[in-house]
Structure 1
Amino acid sequence: MRAALFHGEGEIAVEDVPDPTIEEPTDAVVRITHTAICGSDLWFYRGQREFPTPGRVGHEPMGVVEEVGSEVTHVQPGDRVLAPFWISCGECEFCRKGLHTSCVDGDSWGGEMTGAQGEMIRAPHADGTLVRIPDRYADDEDVLEAALPLTDVMCTGHHAAVSAGVEAGDTAVVVGDGAVGLCGVLACRRLGAERIIALGHHEDRLEIAEEFGATDTVAARGDEAVDAALDLTDGGANHVLECVGAESSMDTAFQVARPGGTVGYVGVPAGVDEAAFLETAFGDNVTLAGGVAPVRAYVDDLLADVLQGTLDPSPIFTKTVDLDGVPEGYRAMDERDAIKVLVKP
């Protein structure tokens, strides 16, 4: 089979690799039909995070089950499935708490593990990890593209909103106009927020934020963005979503939070010096909540909304490539020519 591999900063290549096989009775083999390139993939692509070289890439799989191990009961060959970015057993203490990203036998896709940006994957803990899409939607391309973001960014944006305490009638500020930030806007609307203020740097992305339910948008950086958000909220919001992970975005999030408010953070931290924003948080009694999103805990509820047509994050995909086009997809996202790239191997 063929798959995309990382060979060093700025280097992605599509190569022949061994076909995946059943290694444990709890495994499944899935043929990938849809996957994506994530903003967090850019950290290693840009040389800003350690990653195995050569290493398989991609952590947002959707496809059709080809084979299952002898102990798998939840799915069978022919089922259409998607999988969260984190593999989880579904049975340990943390999975039972809904904290699947702390699974005692968990793992991530990619690196030394099978990666989703390829023709097939081996899915460990198939019963705990794979999410079945009902047969009636298995070939509905619109539904599949709307469901694919549930493997990561839609559930991550939802985690930010939940962690920030967003409820019906609230005002929320979303920091970041990438795929996660845009999904955070969708999540705030889904939870009933009355006012949603999206902060970003790109007018075209903020237009999508408006389509997703943002009542106000701010296209500015630094102090200018903070001042605009404070003016719009009359001194700050009680609910702030940090959806980037950079030091500047963390600073902005805490500066626009109202004293006593909550920042829900889900941006993968990169180069963050916590001292500055913690000083603001301490002084204003602002709560910091969130972290890596336990997608498996959210995906069933969000998938139900996708299937009934009330949730559609697919507009975040602004470029589509085949497997050979994955290196170009990375370039497009790195250079901000695409918000998120859809891959159809």
Structure 2
Amino acid sequence: MRAAVRGGSGDIQIAQVPDARVIEPTDAVVRIVLAAVCGTDLWAYRGQEEIPPGPRAGHEFLGLVEEVGRDVRALRPGALVLAPFMWADGVCPACRDGLTTSCPDGGMWGGEHDGGQGEAVRVPFADATLVELPPAVDDERLPAVLTLADVMPTGLHAVNGTGAGPDTDVVVVGDGAVGLCAVLAARRAGARQIMLLSRHHARALVGQDFGATEVLTGHGDQTRDRVLELTHGQGAQAVLECVGTQDSIDTALGLVRDGGAIALVGAPHGALPGPEQIFMRNLTFTGGLTPARALIPDLLDEVVSGRLDPAPVFDLAVDLDGVPAAYEAMAGRSAIKALVRI
């Protein structure tokens, strides 16, 4: 089969790899219909992470079950399924607590495993991992459903962690797909104000459509002054940090009010503040690796019905051969998020 393979910094190739196949009795093989390129895929592409050439790429996909192991009970060939960005066994204490990303038998697609940017994937613990989609789901809704593999639950995870709600002023740091989904999740929670940091016109427009009440385009003190103005001199009660760089973490710290909460859901590539600053300001730090499988049921009906529509984060569509160009476009910020039709 064909799949996207990392060739080093700035290099994604489409190559022949071994066919996905059932190995364990709890496995399924899923023939991919839609996949995506994620912002976290770009860290290695930009050379900001050391990854040797060869690993598979991609961790967001949905498709059709092609084959199941003998112990798979809930799924049958032909079922249309969504995969969260990590698999999990569904029975360990972490899974029972809803923290599927801490499953000791879990893992993430790609690397030495089949990646989402390919023709098929072997799925461990298929019954616990895969979410069967309603038979009547409209094909036009599938891109929106695909966001539930990662970016939409991650936005929700940020909002849930801070407790943002109707009386909350929210700042979103990051205008990528996760940041935009965090705006949508904050609107869903009824936040009083949603301030999005963005200096990119196309992304700002999506953010406004998703519910941002203010787009902050300034730098440094300009942004802080505007947030203080909008929050009567206090700062935001909830800051959703959706990037993970040192600059974005520092920006979040500068915009949150004392006693407020910061959700860190961007893949971290910066140092967290020292305990003294957190202590003296009574700050709450939350977030982390999103347990997407546990959050998908809260969102699925709304997305399938169209009441919640994250699909506009996809502003580029390619086929499998177009994946290298999609990485280039996203790294150059000429695309927010690429949809891959297999």
Compute the TM-score of the two structures, normalised by the length of structure 1.
Answer: 0.96
Residue matched to 2:155: 157
**Which residue of structure 2 lines up, in the alignment, with residue 106 of structure 1?**
106
2:23 equivalent in structure 1: 23
Amino acid at match of 1:306: V
Alignment of 1:1-345 (within 5 A): 1-137=1-137, 140-234=138-232, 235-270=234-269, 272-275=270-273, 280-345=277-342
In structure 2, what is the Cα distance between the partners aligned to 1:27 and 1:187? 33
2:315 partner SS? strand
| Superposed CA offset, 1:103-124 (max 9, x none) | 0100110000110100000001
Q: Aligned partner of 1:209: which letter?
A: G
1:290 is displaced (CA, Å) by: 0.9
Amino acid of the structure 1 residue aligned with 2:243? V
| Distance across 2 between alignment mates of 1:221 and 1:267 | 20
Whole-Å separation in 1 of the counterparts to 2:86 and 2:227 = 34
Q: Please say if residues 150 and 295 of structure 1, whose CA atoms lie closer than 8 Å, have aligned partners that are also in contact.
A: yes
CA separation of 1:261 and 1:86: change in aligned 2, threshold 3 A: same
Contact 1:200–1:221 under 8 Å retained in 2: no
Offset from partner CA, 1:28-81 (integer Å, 9 cap, x none)? 000000010000000011111133420100000110000000011121100000
Q: Distance in 2 between matches of 1:331 and 1:199?
A: 23
- Answer yes or no: is the 8 Å Cα contact 1:196–1:214 preserved in 2: yes
**SS of 1:320 mapped into structure 2:** strand
Mapped partners of 1:91, 1:275: distance in 2 = 35
Q: Describe the SS at the equivalent of 1:24.
A: coil
Alpha-carbon distance in 2 for matches of 1:46, 1:176: 18
SS at match of 1:136: coil
SS of residue paired to 1:274: coil
Deviation at 1:280, TM superposition (A): 4.0
User: Which runs of 5 or more residues in structure 2 are unaligned?
Assistant: none
Amino acid at match of 1:205: R
| TM-score for the superposition, normalised by structure 2 | 0.97
Q: Could you tell me how far apart the structure 2 residues matched to 1:249 and 1:279 are? A: 20
Matched letter for residue 8 of structure 1: G
Distance in 1 of aligned mates of 2:273 and 2:156 = 27
CA distance in 1, matches of 2:39, 2:202: 17
CA distance, structure 1, for counterparts of residue 219 and residue 341 of structure 2: 35
Alignment gaps of 5+ in structure 1: none
RMSD: 1.2
Instruction: Decide which moves more: 209-218 or 43-52.
Output: 43-52
C-alpha distance in 2, partners of 1:254/1:74? 45
Deviation string, structure 1 residues 159-193 (Cα, Å, up to 9, x no partner): 01111111233221111111000000000111111
Aligned residues: 341
Superposition deviation, residue 279 in structure 1:
5.2
Task: Give the whole-Å Cα distance in 2 for the aligned partners of 1:254 and 1:282.
Answer: 13
Instruction: Tell me the SS of whatever aligns to 2:136.
Output: helix
SS in 1 for 2:32: strand
1:226-262: CA deviation from partner (whole Å, max 9, x where unpaired): 2222221222011111111011111111111111011
Amino acid in the other structure paired with 1:217:
V
Contact 1:318 1:339 in 2 (8 A): yes
Q: Is the Cα–Cα contact under 8 Å of residues 189 and 213 in structure 1 kept in the other structure?
A: yes
Distance, in Å, in 2 between the alignment partners of 1:253 and 1:38 is 22
CA distance in 2, matches of 1:322, 1:204: 23
Q: Is the contact made by 1:61 and 1:116 (CA closer than 8 Å) also made in structure 2?
A: yes
Q: Deviations over 1:174-217 (max 9, x none)?
A: 11111000000000111111221111221221111110011111
Tell me the secondary structure at the aligned position of residue 56 of structure 1: coil
Whole-angstrom distance in 2 between the partners of 1:176 and 1:249: 8
- Look up the SS of the partner of 2:253 in the other structure: helix
The 1:52–1:106 alpha-carbon spacing in structure 2 relative to 1, beyond 3 Å, is farther
Give how far 1:344 is off: 0.5
Runs (4 or more) in structure 1 with deviation over 6 Å come to: none
1:268: how far off?
Answer: 0.4
Separation of aligned partners in 2, 1:121 and 1:76: 16
